[in-house]
Amino acid sequence: MNHNDDALLSPRQLAERLGVSLRTLERMRHTGQGPAFHRVSGGMRRGRVMYRASQVRAWLDKRQCHSTVSAAAWAEARTSGPRRSTSEAA
């Protein structure tokens, strides 16, 4: 992203730059795994979502890997956490 760090990106623009679908970006917002975002109109629940380029860059920098081992460790840390057994979920 060689653009101005204060630039705002729409979800569509960011999805295209990251090579992910809009749905994936939406899931990342919902789960808190994506970059920080702003709601710029329409209220906190339904407002238009925008991303600041500098925050996207910081989010990407935190995910930098230098080997497949570090990528695997990052993926494991991202998915680990308290899990309920099937009997608890019922």
For the chain, how many structural domains are there in total? 1
Q: Could you tell me the mean pLDDT of each successive run of 10 residues in the chain, 90 residues long?
A: 74 96 95 93 78 95 81 66 46
Tell me whether residue 87 is in a domain. no
In a domain? residue 64: yes
Report the CATH number at residue 53. Answer: 1.10.10
88 is a domain residue: no
Tokens found for residue 22: 């809009």
Tell me the C-alpha to C-alpha distance, in Å, between residue 80 and each of 59, 67, 74, 75, 76.
19, 20, 10, 9, 6
Whole-model pTM: value is 0.67
- Domain contains 83: no
**Residue 66 within a domain:** yes
Pick from 41, 60, 63: nearest CA to 50: 41
Domain residues for 48? 8-78
**pLDDT computed for residue 84 by the predictor:** 44
**Amino acid 1: pLDDT:** 46
Has residue 53 been placed in a domain?
Answer: yes
Each residue of 46-84: b (16+ CB within 10 Å) or e? Answer: eeebbbbbeebeeeeeeeeeeeeeeeeeeeeeeeeeeee
In a domain, residue 86? The reply is no
